[in-house]
Amino acid sequence: MSKILFFNPRSANSKPRIPNSILQVAASINNMYEWDFVDGNLETNPQNKILETLNCGDYNFFACSVMPGPQLKQAIVISKQIHDQFPQIKIIWGGYFPSNQYKVVLDSGFIDVVVNGMGDKCFPELIHALQNKLPLTSINNIIFKENNQYIKTPKNEIFDLDKLPAFPYDKLNSIYPLKKYLGKTYLGTETIAYHSSFGCPFTCSFCGIVPIYNARWKGKSAQGIYDDILYLKNNFGGNAIEFHDNNFFVSERRTAEFSKLISKHKMIWWGEGRIDTIDKYKDETLAAMRESGCKMIFFGAETGNDEILKQMDKGGTQTAEQIEKFAARLKKFDIIPEYSFVLGLPAETSQKVMQQIDNDIDFIKRIKRINPTAEIIIYVYSPVPTEGSELFEKVKSTGFNFPQKLEDWISPEWESFDLRKNPLTPWLTAEMVDKIKNFETVLNGYYPTVSDIRLTPLRRKIIRSLSSLRYKLNWYRFPYELKLLQKIWKYRQPEIQGF
């Protein structure tokens, strides 16, 4: 009987979250195959731990979850070493990075199969087929290479989440105490990470979800979510919930039902949603959400430019005016809107790119005037290969190219690219990138994020008064004094590390 070793590469420097990607795939084979798990977030040397585990000779599969960014570092180095040292072990990658970048992954020569999107049904089928040397072509949701051709099998619809097997939380707890995953965050002292839906009904042209789920969304029932949360809370602890869905709030009915169910437990909760969706919610739903513990919601505000919004937000109805009004509306309900902006999109001329950046900076300041509690997250635009989208075609026409070799993704420049901090895009000059980053530094100084729980009131006061003149006079250049303080105080940026 062969065994599977799952690996979750390190994704954050602190506060490990419940590894939902691994739990969900492990649930699909839990009663069929033996498996073990190594979490790079909880091991000082995961490479040694993995090699030692594989040395026993019982394992035939190494199954790794990969999202863009720092996870790639351990994923690439360790997978390559396994391939060299244990050539009989099949290496399977799943998650957003291999699903979107399958060519570079399969061309590496050391990854055998990519799981494209949800792994629940295909993973057990894949293990069975590989074990018995059966053809893979009849298995949906996978990509592999045969005779130098990429074989991309058809996609399944999103599964009914209420019918999928329960997560093996107890087994996880026997490997790593589950308590270790319940981090202290802005939301609570023991924060549960939960993922309650797949996909998204929209098709924003910059988004890595679109190529995988093609504007489909399916959510677990409110009762199902509630039961899982209660199971975790009663067995392992938890007083807050961080919903990891791409778009938690698609169904107002589900949100309202969940709010009603969870309200008696006084758990603070947070999720990601769309402004144009939640703006349609009834006042009573918003009130019930806040009453039940929904303290903050993350929104892709993206930009204050209606023309760009249209270009980005195909199928959506979001406008600059609505972004402003909605910030004011949420203030009435005491829900903090966490608005994320994407600056530095391509335009016909360099002047136009700079103009867009300046306009967005003004717009962000306007939002802060309307609702000073609004949290602002700034990303520099990093293209995602959404083949055929208007925006991606525009990007390609500027000569932009993704790395051609898997190892290149872990070079420092591409790592920063993944973190949407250094775009490597030909239309953005150093001056533009500096302007965005310097504004971000000053903004974070004048309005430090509430989600950094280590930042004491005194530190907040000091950094706010230090950045006050800069912020008011629009003087963002060379904010070295603020950068230094943020470095010394290890200012936590929620866009990179989460809460």
Of 169 and 249, nearer to ligand SF4 (C-beta) is 249
Smallest gap from Cβ 310 to ligand SF4, in A, equals 13
Of 11 and 259, nearer to ligand B12 (C-beta) is 11
Q: Which of ligand SF4, ligand B12, none binds 329 (CB below 5-8 Å, type-dependent)? A: none
What are the distances in angstroms from CA 351 to CA 109, 347, 432? Answer: 43, 9, 10
Contact flag: residue 250 with ligand SF4 (CB under 6 A): no
Contact flag: residue 210 with ligand SF4 (CB under 6 A): yes
# residues near ligand SF4 by CB under 6 A: 11
Smallest gap from Cβ 250 to ligand SF4, in A, equals 9
Residues contributing to the site for ligand B12 (CB under 6 A): 11-12, 16-17, 19-21, 24-25, 41, 63-65, 67-71, 92, 94-97, 100, 115, 118-120, 123, 195, 208-209, 244-246, 384, 418-420, 495-498
Contacts of 213 (CB under 8 A, 6+ apart): 117, 158, 198, 199, 200
What are the distances in angstroms from CA 324 to CA 342, 371, 451? Answer: 16, 9, 22
Q: Which of ligand SF4, ligand B12, none binds 345 (CB below 5-8 Å, type-dependent)? A: none
Of 209 and 432, nearer to ligand B12 (C-beta) is 209
Give the interface segment with ligand SF4, choosing from 79-87, 145-153, 201-209, 471-479 (CB under 6 A).
201-209
Q: Which of ligand SF4, ligand B12, none binds 254 (CB below 5-8 Å, type-dependent)? A: none
Give the interface segment with ligand SF4, choosing from 45-53, 119-127, 204-212, 477-485 (CB under 6 A).
204-212
Contact flag: residue 89 with ligand SF4 (CB under 6 A): no
Of 296 and 463, nearer to ligand SF4 (C-beta) is 296
Smallest gap from Cβ 216 to ligand SF4, in A, equals 11
Smallest gap from Cβ 440 to ligand B12, in A, equals 13
Contact flag: residue 274 with ligand SF4 (CB under 6 A): yes
> Distance (Å, rounded) from C-alpha 94 to C-alpha 102?
10
Q: Which of residues 293-332 bind ligand SF4 (CB under 6 A)?
A: 300
Contact flag: residue 247 with ligand SF4 (CB under 6 A): yes
> Distance (Å, rounded) from C-alpha 62 to C-alpha 409?
21
Taking CB positions, which residue lies at the least distance from ligand B12? 94
> Distance (Å, rounded) from C-alpha 325 to C-alpha 331?
10
* Cα 215–Cα 221–Cα 227 angle in degrees, nearest 5: 140
Contact flag: residue 209 with ligand SF4 (CB under 6 A): yes
Q: Which of ligand SF4, ligand B12, none binds 123 (CB below 5-8 Å, type-dependent)? A: ligand B12
Instruction: Please select the residue that binds ligand SF4; options are 91, 111, 113, 200, rule is CB under 6 A.
Output: 200
Whether residue 218 contacts residue 197, with contact meaning beta carbons closer than 8 Å, is answered with: yes
> Distance (Å, rounded) from C-alpha 279 to C-alpha 417?
32
> Distance (Å, rounded) from C-alpha 38 to C-alpha 99?
22
Whether residue 129 contacts residue 136, with contact meaning beta carbons closer than 8 Å, is answered with: yes
Contact flag: residue 207 with ligand SF4 (CB under 6 A): yes
Q: Which of ligand B12, ligand SF4, none binds 25 (CB below 5-8 Å, type-dependent)? A: ligand B12
Residue with the two structure tokens 């049904």:
121
Of 169 and 202, nearer to ligand SF4 (C-beta) is 202
Smallest gap from Cβ 340 to ligand SF4, in A, equals 9
| Radius of gyration, alpha carbons of the chain | 23
Contact flag: residue 158 with ligand SF4 (CB under 6 A): no
Whose CA is closest to 269, among 250, 291, 285? Answer: 291
- Applying CB under 6 A, which residues contact ligand SF4? 200, 202-204, 207, 209-210, 246-247, 274, 300
